[in-house]
Structure 1
Amino acid sequence: MASLQTIGNHQAAEADLKKLNELRAYQEIANLNETISKQPNDARAYYLRANAYRKLQQYQNAIADFTRAIQLKPDDASFYDERGNTYFSLQKYQNAIADFTKAISFNLDNADVYNNRGVAYKNLRQYRRAIADYTKAIELKPKYAIFYVNRGEVYFKASDYQKAIADFTKAIELQPNNANAYFGRGVVYQKQGNDDAALAEYNLAIDKNENFTPAINNIGLLAYEMGNIEEAIKRWQKSIAIDNEIAEPQLALAVALYNKGEKAKGIEMAKKALKLDKNLGELDYLKKNLWSDRLLTDAQKLLENLK
């Protein structure tokens, strides 16, 4: 396991890399501004500048440039695909689907676009359509593990646990170091009440990626339900040390601290978590995230105090 100091050093390095990439993106935009001023009908230049805007999360500027590129060259599938990805980043899933569909009309054999559209359908809870798109992506790229992971996730959401396990297992066969696939199997086992099998899968996920916070968080959920509160706290603290913008372990830790008697600290942490993800304030949502009876009961006490 990485020490907290190692995690801190890693986060600092990531921050430095982010700044460097931002500087490069601004330089790309400056260069492309000059190109476009000289060649205002250069579709490729608008496309490249749009991608630079995306790197800076300036999504509206990116969409404007992708749209201009499409106006200049309306038969380029990649323009629609990338604008679709930008709409996806804005959670405008219907717009994204429309663009992915247009991209597919120009290139029926692009597995990645089927996958992208499948993810958008998943987020709209249109699971049949998502499964159909993932299946098409798999037909086109049968050795691409992420497509099986994505389809397995939707099978899980559709409560088809046997098919979910089969897809996660296939992903592991293709890519044995895929932490997401082990985690996916763990989630299915946990949902089925097979906590020992779930724990084994989560540990395998962490073996592949020691900073894989979803598995670390869920081990905390299992530990809390078994009454091992200190172990749960330790796991959630580790998740937060890795990424302090993830809301769920912060709320879980807040619940644990509140019910240990550290009420003020628990309330403060809970408020921060709910600012990051307001859905965590709903017990039904927590239950879907595999929070079990003990943690849900304790969460209710804290959440009622926040009202």
Structure 2
Amino acid sequence: MQNRNLLVCLLITLGLWGSNIKPILGQALVPHILQLDSAQLEQTGLSLAEEALQLARFQQFELALSRAELATELAPNNQRTWALLGSLYIQAEELEEGIAALQQAQELNPRNAEIRFVLGRAYFQTSDYKNAIEQLRKGLKFKPENPGALFDLGNAYYKHGKFKRAIAQYEQAYDLEENLWPAINNIGLVQYEMGKVDDAIAQWREAVSIDSKAAEPLLALAVALYTQGDKEQSLAMGEEALRLDSKYADLDYLEKHLWGKRLIEDAKRFLATPRIQETLAQIEDLPQSP
């Protein structure tokens, strides 16, 4: 009853007692919401994207991803936020999410070559070589003199079984960047699968002449020479290559580096030789660098 009297007094004070206005029951106060314009939201999103980029540089990918995701929500029509998010997803090996984000970036800016290049590499990682080729070729229409993209296109053609086209892309990449020994190395990989062993050997010799510390072409050269019967020289080369980088003794690692079936089978026999096995045992016994 006391509460009712208080309510009556309040209504009289407000001049509402006896009027036809009835109190509205069951409603809460409507909060005031601060309205931000789209330009402010986009600027905040771009600031978050910059933070994400800085975090990624320090290998803090989880924090970088959370900021990049929020950046796309605040700036959904900016291709830079989607491109960054896609790149971070790919670095985190979340390829499907990365491709989806990059597709969004590409739709917002279809003429951006770099987005198509990254998207092409992402498709390559999922073994979707057809789409990888399509995206890389479209990107090269806007930026044709890009050795990295030409090299990637060569890899996609190679895995797609288009050997001659792969070699042509590697050659173009090397013409643009003269010290790009991986292009020469990969021409050798393709030629070996085509049965052109002598041509492959010539390519690997050239790659080694460009960079004497490159373990991959040196090991490939050793394997090819061993298969041809040059045991002593090939074993010495193989030992040197594995001392430069022992990861190349792993057949799965070789496959990831696009060594074909023929070369891997020959490498398996070469790596199983007692001398190479002894060398690998010695490498494993060496103290590891901190």
Q: Provide the residue aligned with 2:53 in structure 1.
A: 82
Distance 1:97 1:242 in 2: 39
Instruction: Say how many residue pairs are matched.
Output: 228
Trace 1:3-14 onto structure 2 (pairs within 5 A). none
Alignment equivalent of 1:196, drawn from 164, 167, 177: 164
Q: What whole-Å deviation, never above 9, does each CA across 1:52-85 have from its counterpart, x for those lacking one?
A: xxxxxxxxxxxxxxxxxxxxx9994355133233
Which stretch shows the higher mean deviation, 102-111 or 114-123? 102-111
Alignment equivalent of 2:237, drawn from 237, 244, 265: 265
Q: Provide the residue aligned with 1:153 in structure 2.
A: 121
Distance 2:212 2:73 in 1: 41
Distance 1:75 1:212 in 2: 35
Q: TM-score, normalised by structure 2?
A: 0.66
Deviation of 1:236 (Å) = 3.0
- Report the residue type matching 1:152 in the other structure: G
Q: Provide the residue aligned with 1:13 in structure 2.
A: none
Q: Is the 8 A contact 1:145 1:170 kept in 2?
A: yes
Deviation of 1:129 (Å) = 0.7
Q: Is the 8 A contact 1:121 1:130 kept in 2?
A: yes
Q: Provide the residue aligned with 1:172 in structure 2.
A: 140
- Return the structure number with greater helix share: 1
Alignment pair present for 1:288 and 2:283? no
Alignment equivalent of 1:213, drawn from 159, 168, 181: 181
Q: Is the 8 A contact 2:102 2:115 kept in 1?
A: yes
Q: Provide the residue aligned with 2:270 in structure 1.
A: 302
Which stretch shows the higher mean deviation, 132-141 or 255-264? 255-264
Deviation of 1:138 (Å) = 1.4
Q: Provide the residue aligned with 1:141 in structure 2.
A: 109
RMSD (CA atoms): 3.0
- Report the residue type matching 1:268 in the other structure: E
Q: TM-score, normalised by structure 1?
A: 0.63
- Report the residue type matching 1:147 in the other structure: I
Deviation of 1:218 (Å) = 0.8
Q: Is the 8 A contact 1:255 1:270 kept in 2?
A: no
Q: Is the 8 A contact 1:250 1:270 kept in 2?
A: no
